[in-house]
Amino acid sequence: PLYDFSDSLDGGRPKAEAAADAMRRIFPGVDARAVSLQVPMPAHSVSASEAAATRAAAAELDALVAAHDVVFLLTDSRESRWLPAMLGALHAKVVLCVALGFDSYVAMRHGVKSGSGSMNLGCYFCNDVVAPADSLSDRSLDQQCTVTRPGLAPIAAGTAVELLASVVQHPLGGLAPPPPPTADGDAGDSAVFGAPPHQIRGYLAGFRQHAIVGQAYDRCTACSDVVLDAYRQHGFDFLLRVFNNVVVDEAAPHVPTNQAPPTPDYSYLETLTGLAALHRQTDDIMANIEWSEDGDEGSDDGFEQL
């Protein structure tokens, strides 16, 4: 293990520092460098006095992602994964994401854009129709952290490492297609470890494991073209609008503004990607549906649609 009880004494050591030291103890030949970094996050507002430090942190993270071949997303909150996920898509890196529940986990690889710009496999955020928000403020420690069964983290971590091994040993690397949903074993793939799946979802209740595939979403808040283009064109100014969740005109989301939303209906990312418009369309459809009570004994819910 990378951590032991001594790492938690006297206020605790920085996790990156303790992990790098442990790796060097396990294998002295490893090239491991610890970087303690405050990852900027969507909906975690940045004041004027914090802007310079936040800009430096975002630039350092960008440089770290660009300089490495593989990125593991193992942070504690959904919003803290957004910036490295976006940068991984921008730099076409292999990104492995692991998330834990109480007795379930997901280990997945993000899709990698090819030279043609296509990316069929989704990222961690592609299944979401809401942008990452502040899940940490005004919450107790037990609400911020996931309590898990004791063996879950090692199982998820081992699965992610084996998934990476399958990807790097495949001739297509990060562009390797996942096996068909009905395939058994290596599905005839000629790679050393067979076709690497897209997502592995495991459940200790019943000790089940499923390999599934999720397609990239053109309105994804992390890997969609509109988000990547916004970062390319506007850099830190774009990130600052994401962090501060500024109010913008849907017709011109890149127009600079310092207006802070008191109670916005939709976040900046939701407006930029078109998720806000999607929500409004859905609300309009639901508003035009009329329901009435149905006394028919054959009705399951007591209502019928008019």
Residues annotated as part of the active site: 145
* CB-based contact 74:67 (threshold 8 Å): no
Residue 134 contacts by C-beta under 8 Å, 6 or more apart in sequence?
41, 43, 44, 79
According to DSSP, the β-strands at 208-212 and 199-203 are antiparallel
CA dist 110 and 20 (Å) reads 25
Helix, strand or coil for residue 100? strand
Buried-state track 183-214, b at ≥16 Cβ within 10 A, e below 16: eeeeeebeeeebbbbbbbbbebeeeeeebebb
- Residue 138's identity, in one-letter code, is D
Answer for the pair 82, 41: CB distance below 8 angstroms, yes or no. yes
Rounded CA separation 246/234 (Å): 15
